[in-house]
Chains A and B, each alone.
Chain A
């Protein structure tokens, strides 16, 4: 390798590493550091130790609602939306008339921004003018009732998530050797049995990626509740609490960073698990 080659690698890769360290990992570590201070973004920084974490857990009611909601969101996407996406993929993985039409319809929500999804949800769920109450004749306050709203918002999120999962599984299924499926069918196994015994195990890498997408989407969920009611009154999520405390006029940066750190720890748990899985496999 010539000096020019080495220089090129150094610069090219150096830029990539620098961007990653300065813009992603540096600020992430700084968040952890700030979480032990009472900084308001303007005055001097005082270190207060674990006080923010104590206040968070003991005296900030939205925190626990947010933790519960994030877990609920994860469970709903993982146990309801993702299996539905798989079901659609399996159903569509055959020669069908209008297959492209079905796929497009199911998949279109994925290209919409979540902010738009949040807006559309209001047209459907509004208690006085929304379509859902008009159709069912109910007068339910779908978005205002704190014990209900998280569910209907998760349905809206699933509207988008299912298409996403479907398309990934569909691609995975296309890659499965057709003779495998046929062999299973000839054996007399019914379709469901054939699928779970023969096809599903070969989808393992897809399952892993879908799981990651599901977890990440659940932890990143933000725009949709922010668009609906700024993530309050039953729609609290960790990401929203961070934003509300540090991004808004409030500027409780130390406190908000503590929430961010909690979110980071949860995310890293999943990320590390996933990556060790991924990189242990022979490449």
Chain B
């Protein structure tokens, strides 16, 4: 079997999604800038979206893509609210890391 004839199967997509999810997990736990932590959450959401689409394609079921559509909408809403919180925190105290936000005094 030559290399050109190898077609990626659904398992490849799922494993790629798992690795992407893992990288996002590391980012959320290690990074201390709240904005970058947010980006890592987006990475994890995209990993889940990728596995939804891969399974939708392999099972020939459109409902997986519908789920991804809703995830996109909720992710947009989540980013808006999260960035609003970060902006209102950082306007009071600039250069904040997640460690400095241990006390909810504002």
Q: Does A associate with B in a complex? A: no
Residues of chain B having any CB pair with chain A under 8 Å: none
